[in-house]
Chain A
Amino acid sequence: AQSVSQHNHHVILSEAASLELGCNYSYGGTVNLFWYVQYPGQHLQLLLKYFSGDPLVKGIKGFEAEFIKSKFSFNLRKPSVQWSDTAEYFCAVNAFQTGANNLFFGTGTRLTVIP
């Protein structure tokens, strides 16, 4: 069965610090990969996605992620965080050819940015 691991449960950073959130998945076949963000009291919004092609994908608000197939990883990065980035971040995987299309989510990483 597919699983998604997010290693950091809670990350606290000062504004302007760099961010990297880890995400690993367990499926060996073709995958689509996503990072979603959930701001306090709001619904999940798509930050970025990887389907194929360039493994370095850029998303909204200055976020990017790199797909490393050999490591089954899809880490999220941002060079300089802002207070408004305080939110919960979810990595998700949609695995092809499993007979069931649904997103497998990691447990989420709460990011707190201190002004």
Chain B
Amino acid sequence: DSGVTQTPKHLITATGQRVTLRCSPRSGDLSVYWYQQSLDQGLQFLIQYYNGEERAKGNILERFSAQQFPDLHSELNLSSLELGDSALYFCASNPGGVAEYNEQFFGPGTRLTVL
């Protein structure tokens, strides 16, 4: 158990819908990272938040957005869902700051299926 929690574990929804994925980082970690894992694209970095502020952006679609709240949990919002958004979404955390380039600790993921 990495200490990173994600809910829900599974999500099944229809095209055009909107969903919210939730992540709680390890105790004390200020940085949260979101990744998408799909069969054709592999593991892709989406976005990073550090202490409530957006820190880095990767291959995140405009239909996707994220935020980090004062209690440091983060939410990834996916809207106007398409079949191709079906994937495993991982959240990871680390202390950030001077330890930003250290290893990241991954949550169990949320499996999103868009029908």
Contacts and interface: CB of A to CB of B under 8 A. Distances in A.
A103 B104 contact: yes
B58 to A, nearest CB: 6
Which label, helix, strand, loop or mixed, suits the secondary structure of the B interface? strand
B108 A102 contact: no
B43 interface: yes
A104 B109 CA distance: 18
Chain B: number of interface residues, binned into ranges: 20 to 34
Interface magnitude class on chain A: 20 to 34
B115 interface: no
A90 B2 contact: no
B56 A100 contact: yes
Nearest to A95: B101
19 contacts: A32-B101, A32-B102, A36-B106, A43-B4, A43-B90, A43-B109, A44-B92, A100-B48, A100-B56, A100-B58, A101-B31, A101-B48, A101-B56, A101-B101, A102-B33, A103-B33, A105-B42, A105-B43, A107-B42
Interface of B: 2, 4, 31, 33, 35, 42-45, 48, 55-58, 90, 92, 100-109
Interface of A: 32, 34, 36, 42-46, 49, 51, 90, 94, 96, 99-108
